[in-house]
Each structure stands twice: as C-alpha cells, then as structure tokens.
Amino acid sequence: MAGKALVVAEVKGGALRQVALEAITAGRRFEPSEVIAVLLGAGGLDEPAAALGRRGADRIVIVEHESLGAYTPDAYLQALLQVVEREAPEVIVFGHTAIGRDVAPRLAARLGAGMVSDAVDVRSEGGEVRIVRPIYAGKAFEVRTFTDRPAVLSIRPNNLPLPDEAAGRTAPVERLAVDLKDLRSIVREVVKKTAQGVDLAEARVVVAGGRGTKGEEGFRLLRELADVLGGAVGASRGACDAGYADYALQIGQTGKVVTPDLYIAAGISGAIQHLAGMSGSKVIVAINKDPEAPIFQVADYGIVGDLFEVVPILIEEFKKVKVS
C-alpha cells in the first residue's frame, strides 16, 4: 500500500486514549506512505498531539471547533468527512470505543467504503493485509481482507502492541478549520457521574464481581483489590440488575467487552452472556464457592472459596509483594 493511513485518535478527559496508539500500530501494518493522526475537540489538544508524535505518527491534524467539545454524530461525521476529503487516505482506523462504534460505520457508509469492526489483529501475509475479528460472542474468529479503498477499520483495545516511544521525536502539527452546518443535536451541558481509577475498557487488570458479592460490601473489597493491582472494577449483568454496581461497569454481551492481561472474576457464575465480554482476557482467575460454576471452565486458575475470605487474603499478599 502506498497511500496514507488516517488514525482517528480519541481523547478522554484531556488525555489520549491508549487505543489511539494501538490504532497507529494497526495503520502501520498497511505499510502506508504516511500515518496521519487526527484529533477532534474544542481545545486542549496540544499535549495529546505531542504524545502521538512521540509514538510514531508522521503528521498530526488538529480540528478544533466549539461543537466538537462533546461528541455528537453529526459534528464528528462532518469534521471527519472534511479531513478525509483533504487527505484522501486509503485506510481509516478508529478505536472500537463508544465513539468509534458510532461514527466509524457512518463514515464508511458516506464514503461507500468497506468496514471491519472490532478487530483484534492486523497482519500482513503474502503481500495482503489480513484482519482478525471475533464472531459468535468470541467462540470463533474470522479473517477479513479489504478488496477496495478507502477502507475503515476499528480496533478492540488491549490487543495490538503500542508503538515504541521516542522521547525527542516530534511530528508536524497542522490545524484544519472545518465548517459544521445544520447540526441536528447540540450538547449544552455534560453531567458526569463521579468516576475514579483506570478506564475499564483499556485496563490491563480487571476485577469483576457478580451476584456473589451480595452488595456494596463485596464491591468495596473488589475496589480495594483493583487499587492494589492498578486495575479497574467491572460487574456482571446480574450484579448490575441487583443494584450492586452501575450499568457503566457491566461486562458481557450487552455490556463492555474487555481483554485485559489479568481478569479476576469474584462471585460470578459464568453465564455465556458474561463470558462473551471477557473470554479474550489473557489470564482468567475465578473465585467462587460453587466448584461446578461454569466460570471455572474458562479460568486459567480457580479458587473454590468465599470471596469475602479469599479477596482480603489476596489484597494483603499483593500489598506485601508491592512493598518488597
């Protein structure tokens, strides 16, 4: 491929999302003449732009507009169409995030482009770029290729390696003024729930609880364990339905899909809908009183016991390791 690769780099809370860097890796595997990263927002994008330069972007395009401060489909789509018109990329790479899942197919439809979503690998074989994505709730994988250009691709977080960081490396930064017209929705105010800790979708360690947590006390233990490990807390659908955890933490077929290095499932039976959201984790540890719980069928390590006894022991042992 001799054309350009355009990476749509998402920023959250003023910081560059990790999957934006994984998208650079994906773009590179198409062997483009240039990897261009685009940042959309209302301002404050200089530091994320610098981070993209250190991680290997050849050029960065910053698009700032007051209507891009909070995500709306119309504003983002119009802005991206203007970037694509100017740059004429052969491949466009998104992170498979809430924003990427929404705007990427809209952009592909407007461009008449092929799209592969939720890719977990991008590799070159025999001169052809092959894209691997899970199907049937992660029970199987399919390999796709693009037969035409432009092509649109979204990458699942925590699956591709991060590009190497060079401390003194920089990339040219350009600012593109866009004209956004006839927006059907305008965000006047964003009211956020209080959120702390690591982003669940990109966490390297996830500690998840199910109905076996029995409520707030159980999740307090899980949050403490996650803090010790530098990870994030998740929940099963059952725990969310019972009111033990917010639906924003739900992992599963109707929630978030996570692929951390370590997944600790505490008090989760292992319904197929939950497994669809975490079975791609590199190491799975299950804690459950029921030795016949389905979660043990996918776990690399299993602990048969009461999480209220097991988790405090794990917390203390991990604290000792960190101190030593």
The annotation status of 324 as a binding-site residue, yes or no, is: no
The annotation status of 92 as a binding-site residue, yes or no, is: no
The annotation status of 236 as a binding-site residue, yes or no, is: yes
The annotation status of 288 as a binding-site residue, yes or no, is: yes
The annotation status of 211 as a binding-site residue, yes or no, is: yes
Beginning with the edge strand found earlier in the chain, give each strand of the sheet holding 232-235 in spatial order.
232-235, 205-209, 262-266, 283-288, 301-304
Dist CA 60 CA 36 (whole Å):
6
User: How many CA atoms lie within 13 Å of 22's alpha carbon, on the beta-carbon side?
Assistant: 22
The annotation status of 267 as a binding-site residue, yes or no, is: yes
The annotation status of 284 as a binding-site residue, yes or no, is: no
The annotation status of 51 as a binding-site residue, yes or no, is: no
The annotation status of 220 as a binding-site residue, yes or no, is: no
The annotation status of 238 as a binding-site residue, yes or no, is: no
Specify the 3-state DSSP secondary structure of 165.
coil
Q: Which two tokens stand for residue 191?
A: 């009211």
Alpha helices in 202-268 (DSSP H): 216-229, 237-241
The annotation status of 269 as a binding-site residue, yes or no, is: yes
The annotation status of 169 as a binding-site residue, yes or no, is: no
* Torsional sign, CA 25, 31, 32, 34: positive
Q: Which two tokens stand for residue 37?
A: 């990263």
User: How many CA atoms lie within 13 Å of 2's alpha carbon, on the beta-carbon side?
Assistant: 0
The annotation status of 253 as a binding-site residue, yes or no, is: yes
Instruction: Using alpha carbons only, give the angle 201, 98, 57 rounded to the nearest 5 degrees.
Output: 75
Q: Which two tokens stand for residue 34?
A: 């240039």
Q: Which two tokens stand for residue 314?
A: 């794990």
Dist CA 173 CA 323 (whole Å):
43
Beta strand 121-125 with 11-12 is unpaired
Asked if 61 and 38 touch (Cβ cutoff 8 Å), the reply is yes
The annotation status of 124 as a binding-site residue, yes or no, is: no
The annotation status of 3 as a binding-site residue, yes or no, is: no
Binding-site positions read 211, 236-237, 250-254, 267-274, 288
Binding-site positions for FAD read 211, 236-237, 250-254, 267-274, 288
